[in-house]
Every structure is written in C-alpha cells, then in structure tokens.
Amino acid sequence: MNCKNCGMMNNIGEKYCKNCGCLLQTIETNNNIANQNTSVNVDKIVMPSMKKYAIFSIIIGSGGIICAIFIGMSLLISVFLSALGFSFATKGLKANKTLAVIGYALNGILLAIGIIISFLLLFEVVEPM
Ligand SMILES: [Zn+2]
C-alpha cells in the first residue's frame, strides 16, 4: 500500500513505511476520520529512529556554538545552522523530548550568539574575523 505520509509504495502486510517509518495501518484508519489532519496523527507515532534527529540537533547546536565562540560566525551561517538544528529537534521531539529540548536550547543560544556577533561587528566593537 502507499504510505499516506510520504507516498512511498510499501509491500502489503508491512507495518511501517520503509521510507519514513510511519505506521501504515494507523494512518490508513485515521484517514477515514480526519483527512486533513494526517500530520497530527503522524506526530503521535513514535519511532526509535527519530531519536537520532534529537542527537543531531544537539551536535549542530553545540558544534555551532563552539565555532561561533572560537572562530566567529556570520549571522547567515548561524541562522542557517540553528534553523537546521530546530528542524532536527522538532523531528526528534517525537522520540525523545529531553534531547530535543536540549537541542532547541543549544540552537537558540547559537542563533543568539550569531545575532550578538553581527551586532558587535555592525557597531565595530570587535574587528571583523
Ligand atoms: Zn512513508
């Protein structure tokens, strides 16, 4: 059957989508009740593989902060990295809330550092790096 989340064709009898890991049967039945709100139903399905996204968001956040402090970072890069981190943390939130919250916090700090550095450069408080 086709996955209702990503459209991937899966073998009949498969419980989870081989592409995105969604529970095929649950989405199928829920679709009859709420056609528009499939994303809400998908959010309730917890996959262990989603935990890696939370860990990725922590790696991006902490790595970005270290780079920003020791090497310096442009606002554009810090915005890009923190946006990436936020999206990973959002994915990881379904699997591990604690790790995802740490990811959110670290990427929030990264974004703040990027903004602060760009302001400092704007007012020529520090030399451009
Ligand atoms: Zn899928």
pLDDT along the chain (129 residues), means of 10: 85 86 64 51 59 88 86 84 90 86 90 87 65
Q: Which residues are registered as beta bridge partners of 23?
A: 16
**Distance between Cα 4 and ligand 1 center (Å):** 7
**Distance between Cα 61 and ligand 1 center (Å):** 28
| 54 and 39 both lie in a single domain | no
pLDDT at residue number 28 = 44
Surface-to-core class of residue 16, CB atoms within 10 Å of its CB (0-12 exposed, 13-18 middle, 19+ buried): middle
What does pTM read for this prediction?
Answer: 0.54
**Distance between Cα 82 and ligand 1 center (Å):** 26
**Distance between Cα 33 and ligand 1 center (Å):** 19
Cβ pair 50, 90 in contact under 8 A:
no
Total domains in the chain come to 2
| 67 and 115 both lie in a single domain | yes
CA–CA gap between residue 104 and residue 5 (Å, rounded)? 25
pLDDT at residue number 39 = 52
**Distance between Cα 22 and ligand 1 center (Å):** 6
Neighbouring CB atoms inside 10 A of 114's CB total: 24
pLDDT at residue number 73 = 77
Q: What range defines the domain where residue 89 resides?
A: 48-122
pLDDT at residue number 112 = 92
pLDDT at residue number 126 = 55
pLDDT at residue number 42 = 52
